[in-house]
Amino acid sequence: MINETPRVRFAPSPTGYLHVGGLRTALYNYLFAKRNGGKFILRIEDTDRNRYVEGAVENLIKTMNWVGLNYDEGPDIDGNYGPYFQSERLEIYKKYADRLIEEGKAYYCFCTADRLTRLREEQQKAKLPQAKYDKHCLSLSKEEIQQKLNAGERYVIRLNVKPGPKVSFNDEVRDRVEFDRDSIDDQILIKSDSFPTYHMANVVDDHLMKITHVIRGEEWLSSTPKHVLLYDYLGWELPIFAHLPLLLNSDKSKLSKRQGDVAVEDYRDKGYFKESLINFVALLGWSAGDNVEFYNLQELIEKFSLDRVHKAGAVFNVEKLNWLNEEHLRSKPNEELLEGLKKALTVSKYKNLNLTDEYLLLIVEAMKERVSFVKDYIDSCTYFYEDPTEYDETVIKKRWKEKSPEYLEKYKERISTIENPTKEDFEKTLKDLAEELEVGLGQFMHPLRLAVSGVGGGPGMFDLLYIVGKDRIISRISTAFEKIKK
């Protein structure tokens, strides 16, 4: 058992963006570290040169910062176990590979790509369950190896998987996991470009960085027996493993780009709050068991435990994410929403309106229960920013009556005599008039809303009137008379 302070890591390969699955892995590691007084480390697994993407690391770090999963050690802040870029640790991997070679646990392989292809084809023809390297180069003598090395022949270093019992390990999520040793290939540890493979670098770094718990996606479960062998060969203690359930599309296929966005940045750009994303991904494979679904990060830290991570795949349900976004929006202070709205306005067609904070706060408040995203504070109520130019036809049909112009005219006249009308003034005037004329309030409200906003729904009637204000109400009523024809 590992008793020291837990140390966990998020170890993405920089592919250009942070995948929502990656965010879930990062989050669970973060929550685990925070919950248990441990350390959370960011390590960049950039040993696959073919997949190198310019700017990917910067982008990843930016996104991690945006969501607020702050790490204690990492490439841009350092720590005692760096470097945190695997590409800067090549000598370290080489050293351990050499040690394995010396001990007969790994070996040089000079096979050409052609030979390997032929071998695979033969094995397929022979209907072997799985293509595996045939240990051809294991029989090379020391002298032969040296000759080839001297001649500058390309080589890789392979793990020498020896016969033995099943490879097994405990997993916090899946309990006991076992793999037949036969199914494990003599995998490559060091590639011909002298970069390590994922397996080699991952194990060496997890050990040297004193990682106590390896929490990662289920797609890595099949790599774990290889890692377990490596730990064994290197004489190192195993970390505790926890493999998180797969993320699925709603049709239960593996979450894919084709069925929706998978980059955290895409969700950020669409206006989701980081709080909703965190809350949402936390529930992809974990629940506290108390039917609560709304959490902030602090609450998640308090509740999180690996033993409540599910085995079954977790369906990525965008409706739930939208719902959480609404809930988080509603829980936010108006001042924060105001800042968001101001920012959204700067890139909207209303950027030159110079609206006061006081005015915008009224919108924030009045619409808070009716919007899902900050941008809805603009898109769903443009009538706060400009006069309506169109009027909803169905509302006209249903609500614009013969007498509507007469009632609105009266309302217009009445409010024009009030100086700086308050919300209550707008309400009282309307109620008084309806009473005097002995008609239902609806006879005033519906046409008035239509004339002032162009649509049939929106915030509370008197919030709408108060925010739009006396002058604009008056002019909008006049315009409506000209434009609304039945």
| Comparison of 227 and 328: residue with beta carbon closer to ligand GLU | 227
> Minimum CB separation from ligand GLU for residue 198, in Å?
6
Q: In 10 A of CB 7, how many CB atoms?
A: 21
**Which tokens belong to 455?**
């649509």
Rg (CA), the chain: 32
Rank residues 202 and 212 by Cβ distance to ligand GLU and give the closer one: 202
CB nearer to ligand GLU: pick between 224 and 279: 224
**In the complex, what is the shortest distance from the CB of residue 79 to ligand GLU, in angstroms, rounded to a whole number?**
18
Q: Pick the binder of ligand GLU from 17, 30, 45, 452 (CB under 6 A).
A: 45
Q: Which stretch binds ligand GLU (CB under 6 A): 9-17, 69-77, 124-132, 163-171?
A: 9-17
- The answer for residues whose C-beta is within 8 angstroms of residue 393's C-beta and 6 or more apart is none
* Piece of the chain touching ligand GLU by CB under 6 A; list 5-13, 49-57, 246-254, 256-264: 5-13
CA–CA gap between residue 85 and residue 11 (Å, rounded) = 10
List all residues 6 or more positions away from 394 whose beta carbon is below 8 Å from its beta carbon: 456
Distance of alpha carbon 361 from its chain centroid, rounded? Answer: 30
Answer whether 391's CB lies under 8 Å from 484's CB: yes
DSSP strand pairing (213-217 vs 240-244)? parallel
Segment lying near ligand GLU (by CB under 6 A), choices 11-19, 257-265, 313-321, 460-468: 11-19
Q: Judge whether 332 counts as a catalytic residue.
A: no
Angstrom distance (rounded) from CA 185 to CA 122: 16
CA separation for the pair 21, 26 (Å, rounded)? 9
Q: Report the C-alpha gap between 458 and 380 in whole angstroms.
A: 8
Q: Which residues contact 169 (CB under 8 A, 6 or more apart)?
A: 176, 177, 224, 225, 228, 238, 241
**Min dist. Cβ of residue 314 to ligand GLU (A):** 17
Between 61 and 341, whose beta carbon lies closer to ligand GLU?
61
CB of 12 to ligand GLU, least distance (A): 5
> Do 220 and 168 contact (CB within 8 A), yes or no?
no
H/E run at residue 61: helix 56-67
CB of 162 to ligand GLU, least distance (A): 24
Residues 245-264 interacting with ligand GLU (rule: CB under 6 A): none
- Report how far residue 333's alpha carbon sits from residue 338's, in angstroms, rounded to the nearest whole number: 9
8-state DSSP, 86: G
Binder of ligand GLU out of 12, 239, 340, 459 (CB under 6 A): 12
Neighbours of 87 (CB within 10 A): 16
The catalytically annotated residue of 257, 270, 311, 349 is 257
CA distance 426 to 469: 10
The residues in 416-455 that bind ligand GLU, with binding defined as CB under 6 A, are none
Instruction: Say if strands 156-159 and 188-190 run parallel, antiparallel, or are unpaired.
Output: antiparallel
Least separation in angstroms between CB 201 and ligand GLU: 9
Site string for ligand GLU, 347-386 (x = CB under 6 A): ----------------------------------------
Helices marked H in 126-223: 142-150, 198-208
Compare residues 202 and 325 and give the one whose CB is closer to ligand GLU. Answer: 202
Considering only residues 11, 41, 408, 451, which one is a binding residue for ligand GLU as defined by CB under 6 A? 11
Give the integer Cα–Cα distance in Å for 309 and 244.
Answer: 7
CB of 13 to ligand GLU, least distance (A): 4
Of residues 42 and 344, the one with the C-beta less far from ligand GLU = 42
Q: Is 459 in the site for ligand GLU (CB under 6 A)?
A: no
**Helix 90-102 to helix 224-234 angle, to the nearest 10 degrees?**
70
Annotate each residue in 208-237 with x if it binds ligand GLU (CB under 6 A) or - if it does not, as one string. Answer: --------x---x-----------------
Of 202, 325, 380, 453, which lies in the binding site for ligand GLU, with binding defined by CB under 6 A? 202
CB of 290 to ligand GLU, least distance (A): 29
The distance of closest approach from Cβ of residue 321 to ligand GLU in the complex, given in angstroms and rounded to an integer, is 22
Rounded to whole angstroms, the Cα distance separating 413 from 462 reads: 17
Nearest to 209 by CA among 79, 88, 98, 35: 79
Which of the ranges 6-14, 158-166, 241-249, 301-309 carries the binding residues for ligand GLU, by CB under 6 A? 6-14
Q: What value, to the nearest 5°, has the Cα angle with vertex 37 and ends 297 and 40?
A: 70
Size of the site for ligand GLU (CB under 6 A): 8
Q: Angle, to 10 degrees, between the axis of helix 198-208 and the axis of helix 90-102?
A: 100
Judged by CB under 6 A, the stretch of 10-18, 71-79, 358-366, 399-407 that binds ligand GLU is 10-18
Residues forming the active site: 257
Site residues, ligand GLU (CB under 6 A): 11-13, 45, 198, 202, 216, 220
